Amino acid sequence: MKKKLVTFGISYCIVFLNVFMTIIFGPAEIFMGNYKDFGVIYSEFGWTFLIGGIIGSIVIAAIIALLPEVLRIIILSIGFGVGVACYIQGMFLNKGLDMLGATAEGYHAGKTEMIQNGVIWMMIIVIALALSFVLKKYRVKIAVFGSLFLIAIQMSGYISLFFTADKEAFQYAEGELCLSGEEQFTVSSNENIIVFILDNFSSEWLTEAKQEIPGLTDGLVDFTYYNNADCNSYSTYPSLVRLVTGHELNPTVSVDDYITECWNNEKTDDYYNLLHEHGYKVNVYTPELPIICGSKNLSLATGKLDNIAQESDSIQVNHKLLYKTLIKMSAYRYAPKCLKSRFNVGMNEYSEIVSYADNVIATSNPNFYNTLVENGLKVDDSSNYYQFIHLNGTHEFINDENCQYADGASRMQTIQGIFLMLNEYLDQLKAVNAYDNSTIIITTDHGVARNMQPIFFIKEKGQKHDSAQESNAPISLNEFVPTIVNALGEDYSEFGFSIYDFSENEVRERTVYERSQDDTYPAVKRYDGGNAGQNVYHVYTYRGNLYDFQYVYDNGIYDVIPMVDSYF
């Protein structure tokens, strides 16, 4: 009996090393550093993972303990090697690792990089396996004490999380503000300004899609497409809050200070006052509240946005998706580079973990499309509507050409599904007689790295074309708010230039800020106190079109502005 207990104890140490690292500590550490993105508290998963991990380890260890000795030694030796390799991977071999959700294609390591990383893993596992047979006398001590040592190191980190994390990671805030989705599919019978922000959609991707998919944009016949637009700043932060408020990026201040500036300045006040004076309800729909609020809350936008509501007791947590997302994120951290792409987590998964029965917002392309088809558009006669709708766009390729969820969807399928969704929305606008009196803008917050220029379509109220128009005027997203003010029929000079102030074939100097990392500059903290991966802005200045931008980008012609702190 004693021998069986010893055998079980040895098995348990090695099994628990792997389970604790990937199922208990890994998800907890990832969550504590990103709890605002999840929108839940630790108790929604933490104790389940802890208790389940302990019990699961007991069951697995008991099964292994019953196996024949040679087979048991082989399994435990490989298990110990994998545990050591996972620890080394997470601590030392992930330098330069792509942040989850940063690119639409997900993580893809180079062949040489994967081979080198794979060799390290094989060496660790082979050494662990060889030692168990060569050093028979010491194999138990090596495996058990090695496992206990690594568990102890990580256990200390696990325990410290409970003393260092913000209290908001453990308890839901009372009276927390959120964005209500009650009117997301409502339009006015009078006038509308409707803005679609299709995240991460580059103009070059659209050009390629139009060549491959005939008639892709035929439904936008009354729109003008600007094929030489500029995003001004790369990534959803700071681009989204800049689009919502019209306040240009100030790279010399902290994230929170910049976001506070965005909501509290005279021009932004005047902008929202004009919208409200013209009878508009101003509604913003986005899953990315930290991007427009930072570590503050929506009280920053009180009096400006009209769809601010209190979170109710009707919070609904998709526990299955929460568990799956955290396990995949943990596996992404610890897996060898050749397997990391299997554990990619799209940003859209965050947005669907939590919902509120009273305040549901559709933020993924398929969810928006399916809700639109199922429920249609409602018409309100009491006010005008400004609808700012931020969808995942091409940030992840999650939908097929029918705008339905699809694993392994291609970029072309995703884009085709997006235009099916847009055409359905426009058709429904026409069906409720709200199309002609609507100003509609279809754009994005940014493009993709060297293909950073965004798509930009616009249809003004009452505008009709026999065929779609296209312009190469050098506009930028800095002209977004002045163009909205122009659509109101007001003088927009206070807010800058509108897109109509730039003419066909004009050459204009423009500047793009790209968040980046430069090890020659001091590291900075994240705005929420975590460890940051970015510490500088690369500032590219160019004259001309996308190809002129790509020249300065490819040749590394940029100025550097150190960050005060970082969003990521």
Report the pLDDT value the prediction gives residue 139, as an integer from 0 to 100.
Answer: 84
At residue 215 the predicted structure's pLDDT band, cuts being 50, 70 and 90, is very high
Residue pointed to by tokens 């969807």: 409
Residue range 251-277, pLDDT digits in tens: 999 999 999 999 999 999 999 999 999
The segment with the largest mean pLDDT, out of 102-116, 284-298, 311-325, is 284-298
Tokens of 391: 């969808």
Measured CA to CA, the distance from residue 277 to residue 297 in angstroms comes to 25
DSSP 493: G
Calculate mean pLDDT across residues 302-316: 85
- pTM here is 0.88
User: Which residues touch 157 (CB under 8 Å, ≥6 apart)?
Assistant: 25, 29
Report the pLDDT value the prediction gives residue 168, as an integer from 0 to 100.
Answer: 87
Residue pointed to by tokens 């790369």: 234
55: number of Cβ within 10 Å = 10
Report the pLDDT value the prediction gives residue 154, as an integer from 0 to 100.
Answer: 97
ω before 238 within 30° of 0 (cis)?
Answer: yes
User: Which residues touch 342 (CB under 8 Å, ≥6 apart)?
Assistant: 331, 335
By three-state DSSP, how is residue 159 classified? helix
Residue range 529-559, pLDDT digits in tens: 877 779 999 999 999 999 999 999 999 999 9
DSSP 447: -
Structural domains of the chain sorted by starting position, each given as residue range(s) with its CATH number in brackets: 2-167 (no CATH), 184-283+359-496 (3.40.720.10), 512-568 (no CATH)
Report the pLDDT value the prediction gives residue 39, as an integer from 0 to 100.
Answer: 83
Q: What interhelical angle do 69-92 and 46-65 show, nearest 10?
A: 150
Residue range 131-160, pLDDT digits in tens: 888 888 788 899 999 999 999 999 999 999
- The percentage of residues in the chain with a pLDDT greater than 70, rounded to a whole number, is 96
Quick one: how far is CA 452 from the chain centroid?
17
Does residue 105 carry a pLDDT above 80?
A: no
Helix runs in 105-254, H state only: 111-134, 139-164, 203-212, 236-245
Query: How big is the chain by its Cα radius of gyration, in Å?
Result: 26
User: Among 178-187, 389-398, 525-534, whose mean pLDDT is lowest?
Assistant: 525-534
Calculate mean pLDDT across residues 228-247: 96
Calculate mean pLDDT across residues 199-224: 97
Report the pLDDT value the prediction gives residue 529, as an integer from 0 to 100.
Answer: 81
Residue range 171-183, pLDDT digits in tens: 887 778 889 999 9
DSSP readout, 326-343? HHHHHHHHHS-TTTGGGG
- The percentage of residues in the chain with a pLDDT greater than 90, rounded to a whole number, is 82
Report the pLDDT value the prediction gives residue 100, as an integer from 0 to 100.
Answer: 61
Q: What's the number of CA atoms in the CB half-sphere (13 Å) around residue 565?
A: 16
Tokens of 129: 């396996």
Report the pLDDT value the prediction gives residue 358, as an integer from 0 to 100.
Answer: 65
